Structure 1
Amino acid sequence: MTDEQLPAPIAEFVRATNAGDSDAFVAAFTDDAELIDWGRTFHGRDGVRSWDRTDNIGVHSRFEVVGWRWEAADTVIVDLTVTGDGYNGTGPMTFELRDGLIGSLVIAPTD
């Protein structure tokens, strides 16, 4: 973990999830975002909203940031503990940032 603040779109991703604010959650992503959750792919904000409904806020998920690091100039890996009525556990999420928003999110182990 660094002393830097979590990049704003990712901080909003966490805040919106914990607040149960689906509109703010979706707004943290670009119009053409891609979200990949263990091989399932969701496209655009409609896809992100669908995933949010079935796998995130819709199942009362809550996030706690355990740590994070820059992987590249526009890529951040965040280790999150997830609790709620769906998946529960700790693991990495890889965010690619673009134009001040989340352009892609991959939920899967990192090498």
Structure 2
Amino acid sequence: MHDNQPRTITPDDLPEVITRYLTAHRAHDTATAVTTFTDDATVIDDGNTYQGSAAIERWLDRSATEFTYTIHLTGAQQTDATRYIATHHLEGNFPGGSIDLRYQFALRDGLIERLVIEP
């Protein structure tokens, strides 16, 4: 059984809410980015967990200003009806200078319920 095996999709096939989040995140548009999450969403990034809209908004603000970097979407996968992975290549002035990160999204009611960012 391979029901939960991620299936490669084109970035254009990512759900609109994920594309809207990624576009807003790249543009440092926190106001738009935060609207893509459910009120009780969870984000896990850099070993930290951010729960709820206010915490996610603070995380978005900080991640937009902490480092300067470019981000390129290099791949996309769909795990099941509500789970997607968007792989990004980042280069910038953060420790290490470049990294590939997997943004793992879980959707609920057309919004992002959970986002886990990890190498």
Give 1:46 deviation, angstroms.
0.7
Q: Which amino acid aligns with 1:6?
A: L
- Listed one character per residue, the Cα deviations across residues 10-48 of structure 1 (whole Å, up to 9, x for unaligned) are 101111012221100111111110001132100111111
Paired amino acid for 1:77: I
TM-score normalised to the size of structure 1?
0.84
Cα pair 2:9 2:78 within 8 Å, conserved: no
Q: C-alpha separation between the residues in 1 aligned to 2:57 and 2:93?
A: 18
SS of match in other structure, 2:9 = coil
In the alignment, does 2:110 pair up with 1:100? yes
Q: What is the distance in 1 between the residues matched to 2:69 and 2:53?
A: 19
- Give the letter aligned to residue 9 of structure 2: T
The ranges of structure 1 where at least 4 consecutive aligned residues each deviate by more than 6 angstroms after the TM superposition are: none
Normalised TM-score (structure 2): 0.79
Instruction: Note if 1:2 corresponds to 2:12.
Output: no
RMSD: 1.9
1:90 maps to 2:100: yes
* Structure 1 residues 31 and 73, CA gap change in structure 2 (3 angstroms): same
CA deviation after TM superposition for structure 1 residue 68, in Å? 0.7
CA shift for structure 1 position 60: 4.5
Residues 29 and 103 of structure 1 are in contact (CA less than 8 Å); yes or no, is this contact kept in structure 2? yes
Gaps of 5+ in 2: 1-7
**1:50 maps to which residue?**
58
Show structure 1 runs of 5+ residues with no match.
Answer: none
Report how many residues are paired.
Answer: 108
